Amino acid sequence: MYFPNSYRSMLVLVPFFVSATTAHTAPPKLDYLFPAGGQRGTSVEITAGGAFERWPVKAHIEGNGIDIKPAKTSGKLSLTIPTDAEPGVYWLRLYDEDGPSIARPFIVGVLPEILEQEPNDDPKKPQLITKSSILNGRLDKPGDVDTFACKLTKGQTLVASLEAHKTLRSPMDGVLQILTSDGFVLEQNDDYHGFDPQIAFTASKDGTYLVRVFAFPAVPDSTIRFAGKENFVYRLTITTEPFVEYAYPLAMARSAPSTVELVGWNIPDDLRKFPVTPREGPNLLKLFDPRIANVFHVRQEPNPVLAAPSKRENPLMVTPPITITGRIDKRGDIDVYQFDARKGDKLAIRIEARTLGFPLDPILRLTNNVGTMLAQSKAAAIGSDPLLDFTAVQDGSYRLEVRDLHGDGGMRHVYRIRIGAITPDFELKVVGDTFTLSPSKPLEIPITLTRLGGFKPEIVLSVEGLPKEIAATITAKTITLRATDKTTFAGPIRIVGSATDGTKRYARTPVVELARATETFWLTAAWK
Give the pLDDT confidence score for residue 369 in this predicted structure. 83
Residue 15 inside a domain? The answer is no
Secondary structure class of 354 (helix, strand, coil) = helix
- pLDDT above 90 for 285: yes
Asked whether residue 283 falls in the same domain as residue 312, the answer is no
CB-CB neighbours of 394 under 10 Å? 10
Give the pLDDT confidence score for residue 528 in this predicted structure. 60
Mean pLDDT for the stretch of residues 94-98:
92
pTM across the whole model = 0.91
Asked whether residue 355 falls in the same domain as residue 473, the answer is no
Give the pLDDT confidence score for residue 223 in this predicted structure. 81
- pLDDT above 60 for 22: no
Query: What is the band of 484 on the pLDDT scale with cuts at 50, 70, 90?
Result: confident
- pLDDT above 60 for 3: no
End residue of a domain, out of 239, 272, 287:
239
Contact 389, 346 (CB under 8 A): yes
391-431: per-residue pLDDT in tens? 999 999 999 999 999 999 999 999 999 999 988 999 999 99
Percentage of residues in the chain having pLDDT higher than 90: 84
Secondary structure class of 172 (helix, strand, coil) = strand
Query: What is the band of 105 on the pLDDT scale with cuts at 50, 70, 90?
Result: very high
Percentage of residues in the chain having pLDDT higher than 70: 95
267-281: per-residue pLDDT in tens? 999 999 999 999 988
Query: What is the band of 370 on the pLDDT scale with cuts at 50, 70, 90?
Result: confident
H/E stretch holding 16: none
Residue 141 inside a domain? The answer is yes
Give the pLDDT confidence score for residue 224 in this predicted structure. 82
Give the pLDDT confidence score for residue 132 in this predicted structure. 97
Higher pLDDT, 121 or 370: 121
Asked whether residue 271 falls in the same domain as residue 343, the answer is no
Q: Beta partners for 427?
A: 450
H/E stretch holding 115: strand 113-115
- pLDDT above 50 for 21: no
Q: For residue 221, how far is the Cα from the chain centroid?
A: 27
Per-residue DSSP letters for 136-180? EEE--STT--EEEEEEE-TT-EEEEEEESSTTT--SEEEEEEEEE
- As a whole number, the mean pLDDT across the chain is 92
Residue 8 inside a domain? The answer is no
Range of the domain at 88: 29-109
Residue 276 inside a domain? The answer is yes
Mean pLDDT for the stretch of residues 499-528:
88
74-85: per-residue pLDDT in tens? 999 999 999 999
Asked whether residue 103 falls in the same domain as residue 177, the answer is no
Higher pLDDT, 525 or 514: 525
Asked whether residue 344 falls in the same domain as residue 403, the answer is yes
CATH (domain of 358): 2.60.120.380
End residue of a domain, out of 301, 323, 341:
301
Asked whether residue 435 falls in the same domain as residue 408, the answer is no
Instruction: Round to whole Å and give the CA distance between 278 and 182.
Output: 50
Asked whether residue 352 falls in the same domain as residue 364, the answer is yes
Give the pLDDT confidence score for residue 32 in this predicted structure. 97
493 HSE (CA, 13 A, CB side): 27
Residue 20 inside a domain? The answer is no
Residue 193 inside a domain? The answer is yes
Asked whether residue 222 falls in the same domain as residue 130, the answer is yes
Instruction: Round to whole Å and give the CA distance between 133 and 462.
Output: 45
Give the pLDDT confidence score for residue 527 in this predicted structure. 66
CATH (domain of 521): 2.60.40.10
Instruction: Round to whole Å and give the CA distance between 520 and 476.
Output: 20
Query: What is the band of 23 on the pLDDT scale with cuts at 50, 70, 90?
Result: low
Q: Which residues contact 27 (CB under 8 A, 6 or more apart)?
A: 95, 96, 98, 99, 100, 101, 524
Asked whether residue 59 falls in the same domain as residue 158, the answer is no
Number of separate domains in the chain: 5
423-469: per-residue pLDDT in tens? 899 999 999 899 999 877 899 999 999 999 899 999 999 999 999 88
End residue of a domain, out of 301, 328, 344:
301
Give the pLDDT confidence score for residue 479 in this predicted structure. 96
Residue 2 inside a domain? The answer is no
Q: Beta partners for 259?
A: 275
170-224: per-residue pLDDT in tens? 999 999 999 999 999 999 999 999 999 999 999 999 999 999 999 999 998 888 8
Asked whether residue 227 falls in the same domain as residue 333, the answer is no
Asked whether residue 41 falls in the same domain as residue 69, the answer is yes
Residue 134 inside a domain? The answer is yes
Asked whether residue 377 falls in the same domain as residue 398, the answer is yes
